[in-house]
Amino acid sequence: MTSASQSLIARSQRVFINTYGRFPVAMVKGSGCRLTDADGRNYLDFVSGIAVCSLGHCHPRVTEAICAQAAQLVHVSNLYHTEPQTVLAELLVAHSFADRVFFCNSGAEANEAAIKLARKHGGADRYEIISLAGSFHGRTLATVAATGQAKFHQGFEPLPAGFAHAPFGDLEALRAMITPATCAILCEPLQGEGGVRPLDKEYLAGIRALCDEHRLLLIFDEVQVGLGRTGSLFAYEQMGVTPDIMTLAKALGNGLPIGAMLTTDGIAASFVPGDHASTFGGNPIGCAAARVVMETMLADGFLAEVRAKGDYLAKGLAGLAAKYPTLAKGARGMGLIQGLVLNDEGIKHGGAMVMKLFERGLLLNFAGNVALRCIPPLVVSREEIDEMLALLDQVFAETV
């Protein structure tokens, strides 16, 4: 007998362009940190739809805001003003370095907006953007070109010109790559897809100094680490470095597609009407959901709890690394983005271990072919963290 999941998967395989290597399951329902599949099996979710559902699945206040807005006004385009958009922009401006916001629908689009703004601001003959090896910035052609991983480039050449990649962690190499054509340096304060790899503070301070010295814009891609994930509203707040432009997306709408590009008055002035646009950007429903996300994260104690639970998770992962030194090297991350870094032997089994965890009802992913990445909803409980660690322990014990 075929299960409900299997029959949906068979239908999907006939109609989709084959771009995703999906787990063999159809999800039907979510609540908090749990998902239920079409056959009624439950999963503990340490992926959160890739760091998106930070308030957990179907957070009641988000659902309520979505439903209320859907009954009021769904879409009018940016030919007109709408209150949900303005309220959200005010919240982002009030709680960040930025003075102004541009809304779009995804992380790649937020980075596209940042790239265009940096080029426009740079002026004639200043168009080149330097990003870092191991980075991930999206799947559009420009953001693929900015992404510092060859596997995302292959088959899509020629890529748009004006992008260069500096070796990770090497400030002198980065300095040597700056030319009169350079207009910006783009980086993630902590590389997510690249394997949960934080940039250290001195390195980031050095990058900031290079930007100041050469009149370059510093763009932080906080698409994955922004909005509470690291234990502060934005990761840059803990890094001692303020960017000139910041991009956001994943967690902003707790599952609704919305992205944002934030910057200062002075830089924003380089864009004039007609320079950039998005039909759906700042859609009222996405903005209504994002307002609840912002207000919830800014409420007393929320971010402190993320930091405390992040420490708890990091200690648990470090304990597992100590227990299984043949598989894992240690934990790294900030707040509730933590990676258990595998060694060469562990990496061989990384994909298989993720599949075994899936079979036991734990969703986790293997980032950058180097780290088991834990990005649970920020509302995860210590009991759920313990449950995750126990499952990981079982699978490690079977693998060694």
End-to-end CA distance of the chain: 35
Which span sits near ligand PLP by CB under 6 A: 33-41, 74-82, 135-143, 150-158?
A: 135-143
CA atoms 253, 257, 263, 268: torsion sign: negative
Which span sits near ligand PLP by CB under 6 A: 20-28, 71-79, 96-104, 187-195?
A: 187-195
The contact mask relative to ligand PLP for 69-108 (x = CB under 6 A, - = no) is: -------------------------------------xxx
**Shortest Å distance, C-beta 225 to ligand PLP:** 7
- Candidates 37, 112, 128, 193; binder of ligand PLP (CB under 6 A) is 193
Which are the contacts of 392, defined by CB distance < 8 A and separation ≥ 6?
320, 340, 357, 362, 364, 372
* C-beta of 219 vs 223, nearer to ligand PLP: 223
In the chain, what's the furthest Cα-to-Cα distance?
A: 67
- Candidates 223, 341, 375, 389; binder of ligand PLP (CB under 6 A) is 223
**Shortest Å distance, C-beta 223 to ligand PLP:** 4
- Candidates 188, 219, 252, 377; binder of ligand PLP (CB under 6 A) is 188
Which span sits near ligand PLP by CB under 6 A: 21-29, 75-83, 216-224, 336-344?
A: 216-224
Tell me the backbone φ, ψ of residue 186, rounded to 5 degrees: -115, 125
* C-beta of 248 vs 292, nearer to ligand PLP: 248
* C-beta of 100 vs 139, nearer to ligand PLP: 139
The reply to whether 43 sits near ligand PLP by the rule CB under 6 A is no
One-letter amino acid of 71: A
**Shortest Å distance, C-beta 51 to ligand PLP:** 7
- Candidates 5, 82, 224, 230; binder of ligand PLP (CB under 6 A) is 224
Extract the tokens encoding 157: 């050449």
Residue ranges binding ligand PLP (CB under 6 A): 106-108, 111, 136-138, 188, 192-193, 221, 223-224, 249-250
